[in-house]
Amino acid sequence: MRPIIRRMARMAALSVLLGAGGTTAGWAQESQVGSITGHTDAGKKLYRRYCIGCHGPSGDGAGENAPWIDPKPRDFTLAVFKCRSTPSGALPTDEDLFNAITRGFVTTYMPQWRPLTAQNRTDLIAYIKTFSPKWRSGKPGTPIAIPAEPAPTAESILRGRQLFQRMECWKCHGPAGHGDGPSAATLTDNKDLPIRPYDFSTGTRFMCGATNQDLYRIFMTGLDGSPMPSFADQLKPAEAWDLVHFLRTLQPIETREAAIWRDWLNTHARELKPIGPGGGGR
Amino acid sequence: MMLRIFAGSMLVVLVGAAGRGPFPAGTINGKVTYTGTPPKAHPIDMAKEPNCVTQHPTPVSTQDAVTGPGNSVRYVVVYIAAGDQGAPAATDTVHYDQKGCMYIPHVAAMQVHQPLAIFNDDPHSHNIHPLARINPEWNKSQPKGAPPIRTTWEQPEFIAVKCNVHPWMHGYFAVLATPHFSVTDTTGAFMLAGLPPGKYTVTAWHERFGTQSQEVTIGGAETKTVNFVLTAKPY
């Protein structure tokens, strides 16, 4: 009799742990990335060693280094995150936060944290989620669906270029993607601090990753807290891929899209109207 | 028969509780004015968006402190902050327009869960970015001709709204727990109607001039006048 009771108690304890450890984090604020469960107490120790200098003891982004850092460190008390797989306004998944810590942010002071183990990074996520009550009252959103990427063609790049014009990406990112559009100079984030649009001509990596899927995700989810909105309600998946293919031609690196585009331009360049007010057509 | 009478009386009770039935309903009205020095409204330079320049033959001014004759204050949200007796939820859709690179109205008041529809009437794109703190902060693009963005808010909050592309575009969503709210007009006047007898806390909120509250008791089908005098600071 007694071993049965003990076994039942063990199973109950296990189910509590599993329940709290899922992406639908409960009060315990555990985190779950793949098979790894993160814990707040371990995360707190790591946070106080590696993160506190910029993000501050209360997670509000006002650490002692913050005055010298621009853009400012993330304020975890708002629970607003740029790089998510979830729709604009939704909390990110634990995997999203794990990827952000792992990858760092190319245009900010946030470095990659690959030297920390996957367990360490997962523990940190559990602790970061204790800074905002939103993690207790809400659940992460459902990641957006990303259909398979069609092969890039000159036509898809051309359609993407028209979308770059029609969606008015150029107003911030500039006609050539240099981050110098007419609205670039006045952009501010959700704390009214100046922030720059991404300059496609200098970066080999984007804010939230380096792949075509990452690029798709950036403009379909928006970078919450920043001026970059979500285009999920405006672009069909096929159009989003067209835009991805065009954006790839703006980079300073050799991409397959850039090669296709260069070939096309060799014979058709004169057909294009420049991007900008009243332009962008063929 | 008895059942039908019973059902009928239940209906009367329900309608009465909703504040629309035969029970007396009171009204609170009044005006909001200021003392002190309000900031000067200044003309907005829309040169960055030629479409919007042509839509305003005379330049429009900033709307964060709109005052009128007799020191009246426009765009003050006046609402029942306490004493609400469970009135029916507001269900009509609140319209919020982006036109000529301005938000119309500058301040939109609504109850939690009340439908909100955001329109882009301009021949170009806007991004609508409600800077919510308690509610989720989102940011969506709405190009020319896009359908309205339909949404609701779950928690009471005064949410600043901005368009990052056009930095002068600035407005507010006043999301309230009560269905009894009013936004002052060009004369600073407001009216809260359909209030069953009871003791109420009436609060006036203005984005620059702060918040004030007063206690008001409604005894029956009467109209009580409550005026607010907010303190204006030049900046």
User: CB distance B166–A90 less than 8 Å?
Assistant: no
User: CB distance A229–B133 less than 8 Å?
Assistant: no
Residue B114's domain is classified under what CATH number?
2.60.40.420
User: CB distance B139–A80 less than 8 Å?
Assistant: no
- For A231, the closest chain B residue by CA position comes to B141
* B8: in domain: no
Q: Are A129 and A31 in contact (CB under 8 A)?
A: yes
Q: Which of B20, B27, B72 is nearest to B216 (CA)?
A: B27
* B14: in domain: no
- Asked, colleague to colleague, whether A29-137 and A154-271 share their fold, the answer is yes
Of B139, B149, B165, the CB nearest to A222: B139
Q: Which of A2-11, B10-19, B113-122 is most confident?
A: B113-122
Q: Which of A88, A70, A61 is nearest to A220 (CA)?
A: A88
Amino acid at A139: K
Which pLDDT belongs to residue B145?
Answer: 95
Which pLDDT belongs to residue A278?
Answer: 75
Distance between CA A257 and CA A270 in Å, rounded? 19
User: CB distance A234–B146 less than 8 Å?
Assistant: yes
Q: Which of A12, A39, A251 is nearest to A127 (CA)?
A: A39
SS (H, E, C) A85-134: CCCCCCECCHHHHHHHHHHCCCCCCCCCCCCCCHHHHHHHHHHHCCCCCH
For residue A171 the two structure tokens come to 């107003």
Question: How far out from the chain centre does Cα A48 lie?
Answer: 24
B48 in contact with chain A, both atoms CB, cutoff 8 A: yes
Q: Are B24 and B16 in contact (CB under 8 A)?
A: no
B138 in contact with chain A, both atoms CB, cutoff 8 A: yes
Superfamily of domain A154-271: Cytochrome c-like domain (1.10.760.10)
Q: Are B56 and B17 in contact (CB under 8 A)?
A: no
- For A76, the closest chain B residue by CA position comes to B133
Q: What is the CB neighbour count within 10 angstroms for residue B51?
A: 14
What is the average pLDDT score of chain B?
A: 91
ipTM over 0.85: yes
What 3-state class would DSSP assign to B110?
strand
Q: Supply φ then ψ for residue B35, to 5 degrees.
A: -120, 160
Which of the four pLDDT bands, split at 50, 70 and 90, describes residue B23? low
Distance between CA A43 and CA B88 in Å, rounded? 47
Query: So where are chain A's domains?
Result: 29-137, 154-271
User: CB distance B140–A78 less than 8 Å?
Assistant: no
User: CB distance A90–B129 less than 8 Å?
Assistant: no
Q: Supply φ then ψ for residue B33, to 5 degrees.
A: -130, 175
Q: Into how many domains does chain B fold?
A: 1
Asked if residue B44 has pLDDT above 90, the reply is: yes
Report strand pairing: B198-206 vs B223-225: unpaired
For residue B187 the two structure tokens come to 């004369």
% residues pLDDT > 70 (chain B): 90
B146 in contact with chain A, both atoms CB, cutoff 8 A: yes
Per residue of chain A (282 residues), give pLDDT as tens.
Answer: 455 555 555 544 444 444 333 343 444 579 999 999 999 999 999 999 999 999 999 999 999 999 999 999 999 999 999 999 999 999 999 999 999 999 999 989 999 999 999 999 999 999 999 999 999 989 999 999 999 999 999 999 999 999 999 999 999 999 999 999 999 999 999 999 999 999 999 878 999 999 999 999 999 999 999 999 999 999 999 999 999 999 999 999 999 999 999 999 999 999 999 998 877 667
Q: Which residue has the higher pLDDT, A281 or B151?
A: B151
What's the DSSP call for residue B163? Answer: -
Distance between CA B169 and CA B120 in Å, rounded? 13
Distance between CA A229 and CA A207 in Å, rounded? 14
How far does B128 lie from chain A, in Å, by closest CA?
A: 8
Find all residues with CB under 8 Å of A18, minimum gap 6, and list them. none
* B115: in domain: yes
Question: How far out from the chain centre does Cα B178 lie?
Answer: 12
Asked if residue B20 has pLDDT above 70, the reply is: no
For residue B48 the two structure tokens come to 């960055």
* B156: in domain: yes
Distance between CA B32 and CA B231 in Å, rounded? 11
Q: Which range of residues forms the domain containing residue B68?
A: 24-232
Q: Which of A106, A112, A108 is nearest to A203 (CA)?
A: A106
B150 in contact with chain A, both atoms CB, cutoff 8 A: no
Which pLDDT belongs to residue A21?
Answer: 38
A60 in contact with chain B, both atoms CB, cutoff 8 A: no
For residue B227 the two structure tokens come to 């005026």
Asked if residue B119 has pLDDT above 70, the reply is: yes
Q: Tokens 């989102």 correspond to what residue?
A: B138
Asked if residue B93 has pLDDT above 60, the reply is: yes
pLDDT-wise least confident of A48-52, A132-136, B13-17, B133-137:
B13-17
Q: What is the CB neighbour count within 10 angstroms for residue B223?
A: 12
Distance between CA A257 and CA A82 in Å, rounded? 26
- For A133, the closest chain B residue by CA position comes to B134
For the domain spanning A29-137, the CATH number is 1.10.760.10
Distance between CA A210 and CA A217 in Å, rounded? 11
Q: What is the CB neighbour count within 10 angstroms for residue A67?
A: 9
Amino acid at A3: P
Mean pLDDT of B74-89: 93
Find all residues with CB under 8 Å of B221, minimum gap 6, and list them. B24, B25, B26
Which pLDDT belongs to residue B193?
Answer: 95
* B131: in domain: yes
A225 in contact with chain B, both atoms CB, cutoff 8 A: yes
User: CB distance B165–A277 less than 8 Å?
Assistant: no
Q: What is the CA radius of gyration of chain B?
A: 20
Q: Which of B52, B134, B135, B139 to mutate to test the interface with A (most CBs of A within 10 A)?
A: B139
Q: Are B201 and B215 in contact (CB under 8 A)?
A: yes
